[in-house]
Chain A
Amino acid sequence: MDLVIENIPFLLKGAYYTLLITVVSMFFGLIIGLLAAIARIKGNRFLRNIARVYVSIIRGTPPLVQLVIVYYGLVDYGIELGPLTAAYIALSINIGAYVSEAFRGAIQSVPKGQTEAALATGMTEKQALRRIIIPQAIRYAIPPLGNTFVGMLKETSLVSVIAVTELMRSAQLLVAQYYVYMPFYLSIGIMYWVMSTIFTFILNKIEKRLSVY
């Protein structure tokens, strides 16, 4: 236990990277996901298919494979990315697919009558989407996005394999140094759990805020 306390600053630095990677990837993932969702629902056939193939590939392959393709694979084509950059790119693309599914489901769960009511007053499809449908869809999307977000937090542990010293790798390094496993792995387990709980708490607050009606 003393070992853990002694190394807390090191572990906290790992936690900082875990958070950083999560937040940055989620931010870009949200943008990619919203665009992909709109492409799938309202796009022409070409855009629809691109979005569909993207989601299908990402969901059908392990995130670890996606990560090593971006970090190691691209080197073959002369693209050398720093480990942190590679992590951002791979995870943003990964999360975007899940976010797009969350948004798509949310947009589709807004009753059809809402669009019809908006159209009947003379709005265009675009106006109806922007003013009536998306504001309602965002609320429906919060719970699945929350799951995705917490999932992302845990998935960041994968980037330890490309030498980003986030929480997981911090623990591995300490284990290698002191030859004891349990205290370090248990501590990071607790740290992941605390972070997930805080995220969930914040998301619940946001959801409540949005459901005034």
Chain B
Amino acid sequence: MIEIEQLYKNYGSHEVLKNLTLSIPAHQVVAVIGPSGSGKSTFLRCINGLEKITAGKITVNGHEIDAKAPKKVLQKAVYAIRQETGMVFQQFNLYPHKTVVANVMEALLVVKKMQKDQAHQIASNLLKRVGLSEKEDSYPSQLSGGQQQRVAIARALAMEPQLMLFDEPTSALDPELVGEVLKVMKSLAEEGMTMMIVTHEMNFAENVADRVLFMADGVIVEDAEPKAFFEHPQTARAQQFLQQVNEF
């Protein structure tokens, strides 16, 4: 599903990602964890081309982002990947000037050029799925953070993605609203969606993910099954991180 070869990215003299190489098979749920500034979010954003990579290669579903490719070829691959990939942001980024259902319909209308009633049908079904049928005609500002994030997930699912990227989806939420979002994500995982999740929710990573990537300073320090990682972290860096997380 995803092949990453020697992915490198820097901002000037600051190296954010240092030659990452890994592959992620379809239907795998990958939790990316690590201290802030370790490059987790940047890594995720490279996969759908929101960040330009400096060197290396990313292949998603056969579409190749090669740092050396000409701009036109690169752009084409990025558009192809984005149409098959959904992304959920920390700050939700719902369109505030559109109703909930219009948020979900937008890409269907603009990118897929779908008829309005057909798009509305799809959007309604997705909102039902995330438990927000009664909010269709509300504006995002009238929703709680947890509800907004569930709409954002529905919006991402509208394009029928084969891969879902979650960039700290619960970090901006009040603690009591985290559960409802994680529940929707868990149900997606159970349906076999390929997912990459940058998260600070260690319990979620341990119980829902199939695989944990622990990143620090732009490097994948550990790549393991959740149980093994949380019970027996191999490196001093990971041990220290888990200890800090569990301190209180």
Residues of chain A touching chain B, judged by Cβ–Cβ distance below 8 Å, are 111, 113-114, 116-124, 127, 131-132, 135-136, 139, 212-213
Contact = CB atoms under 8 A, between A and B. Distances in A.
Contacts of B85: 120
Interface stretch (B26-34, B87-95, B181-189, B239-247): B87-95
A114 B98 CA distance: 12
A123 B111 contact: yes
B93 A114 contact: yes
Contacts of A127: 110-111
Contacts of A135: 97
Nearest to A138: B97
Interface string B126-163: 00000000000001110000000000100110110000
Given A127-B110, A131-B106, A213-B140, A121 B156 contact: yes
Interface string B65-94: 000000000000001001101110101011
Contact of B111 (A114, A116, A117, A121): A121
Of A111, A113, A139, the most chain B CB neighbours within 10 A belong to: A113
Given A113-B91, A122-B83, A213 B107 contact: no
Contacts of A212: 139
B48 interface: yes
Nearest to B139: A213
B76 to A, nearest CB: 11
Contacts of B22: none
Contacts of B110: 123, 127, 131
Contacts of B94: 117
Interface residues of B, number: 27
B5 to A, nearest CB: 23
A117 B155 CA distance: 10
B72 to A, nearest CB: 13
Given A116-B93, A117-B155, A135-B97, 12 more contacts: A111-B93, A113-B89, A117-B89, A117-B94, A119-B50, A121-B107, A122-B79, A122-B83, A122-B107, A127-B111, A131-B110, A136-B95
B96 interface: yes
Contacts of A123: 107, 110-111
Nearest to A116: B50
Contacts of B50: 116, 119-120
B111 A122 contact: yes
A213 B96 contact: yes
A212 B142 CA distance: 11
Nearest to A211: B97
Contact of B159 (A111, A113, A116, A122): A122
B210 to A, nearest CB: 24
Nearest to A114: B93
**6 residue pairs, one from A and one from B, having the closest CB atoms:** A121-B107, A117-B93, A113-B93, A122-B83, A120-B87, A213-B139
B155 A121 contact: yes
Given A119-B50, A122-B111, A131-B106, A136 B159 contact: no
